[in-house]
Amino acid sequence: MKFCPQCGKPLQEAHIDGRERKLCPDPECSYVFWNNPIPVTAAVVEWDGGVVLVRSKGWPRRFFGIVAGFLEAGETPEEGILREVYEELGLRGRIVDFLGHYAFAEKNQTITAFHVRAEGVMVPGDEIAEVKVLPPEKVKPWDAGTGPAVKEFLRRRMGGKAVDRCVPPGEQLVLAVYVQDVEKSCRFFTDFGFLVSRRDGPFVELRWEDSLLFLVERPDAEAPKAPVGNIRVMVPDVEAVYQKARELGYPIVTPLGDRYYGLKDFVVAGPDGIHLRFASHLGRK
């Protein structure tokens, strides 16, 4: 900006509020060009299993970015980005996550970025020259502008990947119980419907649907003086399991009842201080 937008006089350099700014020299006017950044809303859009990259009309051929745009008056960044996703891609999206705020000094913008998931048939808008949908691992984030938001999206995704992809969910956390008599313990659990999926000397692998429980017979295992804990098992009909526990004659530690935490449950004592707590959701069968 060279001329005062209020009176038309040439602006001059001045040191105001700790920065070099442009000031109108007319004392009657004294307009200051503050050069405040413009808010931009942006999104890493996931669609059809990939990340959507767009090239706007007029951009160089190899230049792709994420969906982004200026806010309309009265819009929140959340409203703005869902509108942009619709305008640029013809897709209805929903915000999954907030990724971050980023200062983009070169363009004097402040970018608010989200992770958006979109579904449906993509119909790119008039402003869009080209769309690419890349598998997330093929996306190479750039340094400036919306690049750091892309980096943040990938960082979170990789974090999640390490947890959910290395092994099936049911194998991620498995309790191994040291028992005095593996046959006796095994009988207790199988009486209640656990299946033996592996047996190897002192070791037994038990399975309840996708969850695992290990029993390990150890000569130094002692009967604990007090119960050590219980394993909670959700069942569709806890009353039927309760009847079975009574018929089998296992000691009931906590009789069947409705609980404040939304479950109907009971606790039956097992060997080695490990109890089983069977539960159903209240109001559901």
| Parallel, antiparallel or unpaired: strands 229-234 and 274-281 | parallel
User: Is position 10 an interface residue for Zn ion (rule: CB under 5 A)?
Assistant: no
Site of tokens 């109907």: 264
Q: Which residues pair with 158 in a beta bridge?
A: none
Q: Between 31 and 86, name the residue whose CB sits nearer to Zn ion.
A: 31
**Selected binder of Zn ion within 3, 7, 10, 38 (CB under 5 A):** 7
Piece of 23-31, 126-134, 207-215, 220-228 that binds Zn ion (CB under 5 A) = 23-31
Piece of 21-29, 78-86, 182-190, 260-268 that binds Zn ion (CB under 5 A) = 21-29
Q: How far is the CB of 22 from Zn ion (least distance, A)?
A: 10
Q: Between 8 and 224, name the residue whose CB sits nearer to Zn ion.
A: 8
User: Is position 31 an interface residue for Zn ion (rule: CB under 5 A)?
Assistant: yes
| Parallel, antiparallel or unpaired: strands 38-47 and 50-56 | antiparallel
CB of 100 closer than 8 Å to CB of 34: no
- Express the helix, strand and coil content of the chain in percent, nearest 5 each: 25, 40, 35
Rounded CA separation 31/7 (Å):
9
Q: Between 11 and 91, name the residue whose CB sits nearer to Zn ion.
A: 11
Q: How far is the CB of 19 from Zn ion (least distance, A)?
A: 19
Q: What angle do CA 70, 73, 78 make, to 5 degrees?
A: 60
Q: Residues binding Zn ion: what is the number (CB under 5 A)? A: 7
Piece of 22-30, 59-67, 113-121, 223-231 that binds Zn ion (CB under 5 A) = 22-30
Whole-Å CA distances, 29 to 1, 6, 13, 18, 268: 16, 7, 15, 21, 84
Interacting residue ranges for Zn ion, rule: CB under 5 A:
4, 6-7, 24, 26, 29, 31
